[in-house]
Amino acid sequence: MLPMDASLPVPLSIALVASWLLYTYFKPKSRYHPGPTGLPIIGSLLEINNERPWITYGEWATQYGDIVMYWVMGKPVILLGKVEHAHNLIQKRMMNYGDRPELVVAQELVTQNGWYVGTARTKHDTHRKQRRILGERLRASTLRDWAHPVEIPELHLFLQRLTQHPERFINAQPRQSSHLSHQRGYGSPIHLTSTEAILGGLFTILEASPNIATQHGLKETGTPMARGDGYALPRAITEAEGATISAAMVDTGTDTLTGTTVVFMIIFMCLPHTLKKAQAIVDGAVGRDRLPNFDDLGRIPYITAMIREAFRWRTVAPVAIPHAVVADDVYDGYFIPKGATVFALSQHIYEDEELYPDHEEFKPERFLDDHGQLNTLPHAGFGFGSRKCLGQHFAEQTLFILISSFVWAFDITAPVDGKGQKIPPSLDPMDWGAFIASPPPMDFQAVITPRSQAAVDVINRAVEGDK
């Protein structure tokens, strides 16, 4: 019998592991889309800007092409840098690209078996039911029945507060967004003090409490949930599901509405000609004897074009919420493996000079045809496919009434320093937040003044008429 060397197993194990790593790294690969090579095991993890990953993704899309593939810890990631690719894959092949990546904490622990609709995987039974419920509630035709009647009084109060305390815009605006989103989810108004308005960022967390849901009529009955006021969520759902759905609506609505409205304030200060044009258009359509209402939606397409251009010019989601590939796929001759995470690069898409010439400029006219009506130019702010944001109609309609009313009622200018020089907020994207629902600068100052005493009187009469 040959003598056994007790030290042999250790170096042999090291050699086997090293051989496996080298083989894995250098082995012939399928024809993947081009992208950074990365390092063994960790892949391109260290190359990504952790605070602003969309900066890295945009650079890669410029360097490697419209579709980029990279690896992180053995997991493939696909980046889509053109709207046509996002449409062809996430939209046209939605059955294969409609899943979410595996997020154990978000999907299994925090939200208990995937109850949060934004992160739920298709394997979760609640996902399709929640999408159905939200889809029914957020259809454009349904909004006229429940959303518009409760949004208008809140809007009038918001405008009145600005006439009295314009310096509190940053505090008042999240309160307005939270109220509207709360109405959307729970069907009942809330009333916050000025101190609570400052804590608006905590509001969405509190909304997730099942106890709050129960207080507002969302309770487990075994039958379709009823409140008696016409605003209840439909279908039979449990207390926990009702709280989760409503929290999702409040959460996403507050972030999007607040961020985009602040973007508009920055636009009006830095680009005053845009505000003047919007005021002239709204005045021409509405007159000066009343505030805009939802019936004006089709009569002022320029405001909707401004909203779409604001989403494009400074999007609140530079990188869309990720999708996951259900089964192996081939696109344009390249292999896309099952389980790959797929990001649509919203900001990079919005910088496509073929679709959006002079993309660095704020030009609402790009979304209008020769007759001044909305055209079909794509906008990626609400995602693609079966996981597309269901709140698109709510967001666009709410922003329409908010922005049209604001330009009807107010002027906004940048403050001045001791030498009389204007102090505008920064337009540099690097000074802004990053990734999903990236916030614009919230510490800027603005000078907001009513356009006339007659405008203030119209607002006060509107508030009185709502009582």
Residue by residue, DSSP assigns 93-130 as THHHH-B----HIIIIIITTTT-STTT--TTSHHHHHH
Beta-bridge partners for 400: none
| Under 8 Å between Cβ of 174 and 201 | yes
Nearest CA to 329 out of 67, 65, 114 is that of 67
Q: What are phi and psi of 99, to 5 degrees?
A: -90, 170
Kindly calculate the radius of gyration of the chain based on its CA atoms and give it in whole angstroms.
25
The span from the CA of 460 to the CA of 331, in Å, is 58
User: Is 260:399 a contact under the CB 8 Å cutoff?
Assistant: yes
Per the annotation, does 270 bind a ligand?
no
* Measured distance CA(220)–CA(216) in Å, rounded: 12
Dihedral, CA atoms, 113, 123, 140, 435, nearest 10 degrees? 70
Largest separation between any pair of C-alpha atoms in the chain: 107
Give bridge partners of residue 330 from the DSSP assignment. Answer: 335
Instruction: Say how far apart CA 145 and CA 359 lie, in whole Å.
Output: 38
- Please enumerate, as own/partner, the contacts of 213-217 that have beta carbons within 8 Å and a separation of 24 or more: 213/186, 213/239, 213/242, 213/243, 213/246, 214/239, 216/186, 216/187, 216/188, 216/246, 217/186, 217/187, 217/188
Query: Position of tokens 């009185």?
Result: 464
Return binding residues for heme. 389
Return binding residues. 389
